[in-house]
Chain A
Amino acid sequence: MRLLLAFTAGGLFGTGLFLSGMTDTRKVQGWLDVFGDWDPTLAFVMGGAIVPMAIAWRLTKGRKPLVGGSFPAPATGKAGHRLILGSVLFGMGWGLVGLCPGPAMASLAYGGWGGALFLLSMAAGMLVAPKLAVQLDRMAAKA
């Protein structure tokens, strides 16, 4: 049941990314390109996705997940340097080629060698992240 639900959720995610055009790097870079031919599509995707999710969060109140266990508690702690610096690095990479993790996975079938290379590089980046985070902690402590 758990796996079937996970596959369904992933399938919906992949379907939505495909239909919305978010696996097209031109549309994503177009959203970020406010000085060029600006493309507002991403805002509609974000807005559309937030509606069912907001309803889902409301539905979690007083309930338990279908497969048991408990719902994830809100992340505690403030928006610290890891959150901000990590997001800045992510945003730079995102702007550079127009891919983020979801679409990178969803477009594997038609992304060609470039898409596969991006996924591999992303995995490598994930492996160095813990070391980088410690480095950033040191820098933040000095600053």
Chain B
Amino acid sequence: MQADWIWGLAGGLVIGLGGAVFLLGNGRIMGASGIMGGLVDGTGRNTAAERLAFIAGVMLLPMVLMLFLPGKAATHLTSNAALIITAGLLVGAGTRVANGCTSGHGVCGISRFSLRGLTATVFYILAGGLTIAVLRHGLGVI
């Protein structure tokens, strides 16, 4: 438990480094929902190869790392399919309507002192916290 924050900080720095490479190299904002969303709805057709290369990196590196650090390769995701589908729909629709998620609005937005990024981050954290408070401590369903 004590080492968790060190892993968090180190991992965070690596995430930021990835964002820095994407920005300084390709002139792009590293937002996971935007990169994937543009492929799903076709709006990013002109930059499809770049998006796919990014996603390949996101998916492949943890695949390799799990061989060396198997203890970290666990999502502990609920096995309730209805919950997973509901959450997936909300996350997919919400991030596209808001034009960003934790990486785009949170990491890339706040670091450039974007009021929009900060506002989005405040609202999704509040909504997430309220959801847990009500469903876990209020109703006891998750």
B92 (CB) vs chain A CBs: closest residue? A125
- B-side interface mostly: helix
- A99: chain B residues at CB < 8 Å are 75, 77, 87-88, 91
**In contact, B83 and A86 (Cβ under 8 angstroms):** no
- A-side interface mostly: helix
- A96: chain B residues at CB < 8 Å are 83, 86-87, 90, 131, 135, 142
Most buried by B among A4, A7, A39, A67: A7
Query: Quick one: which of B95-135 are within 8 Å of A by CB?
Result: 95-99, 101-103, 105-108, 110-112, 114-116, 119-121, 123-133, 135
**In contact, B20 and A55 (Cβ under 8 angstroms):** yes
Q: Is B59 an interface residue (CB 8 A)?
A: yes
A54 (CB) vs chain B CBs: closest residue? B111
A130 to B42, CA, bound (A): 12
Given contacts A8-B57, A20-B8, A45-B15, contact A95 B127 (CB under 8 A): yes
Size band of the interface chain B makes with A: 35 or more
Q: Is B139 an interface residue (CB 8 A)?
A: no
**In contact, B128 and A23 (Cβ under 8 angstroms):** no
Jot down 8 A-B pairs with beta carbons below 8 A, ordered by A: A6-B22, A10-B53, A49-B111, A87-B120, A92-B128, A101-B103, A125-B89, A128-B93
**Interface residues of B, Cβ cutoff 8 Å to A:** 4-5, 7-30, 32-33, 36-37, 40-41, 49-51, 53-63, 65-66, 69, 72-79, 81, 83-99, 101-103, 105-108, 110-112, 114-116, 119-121, 123-133, 135-137, 142
Given A57-B23, A110-B73, 18 other A-B residues pairs in contact with their CB atoms under 8 A: A2-B49, A25-B75, A27-B4, A32-B125, A40-B5, A46-B107, A52-B17, A54-B111, A78-B115, A79-B120, A93-B94, A102-B103, A107-B62, A114-B77, A117-B85, A120-B88, A125-B91, A125-B94
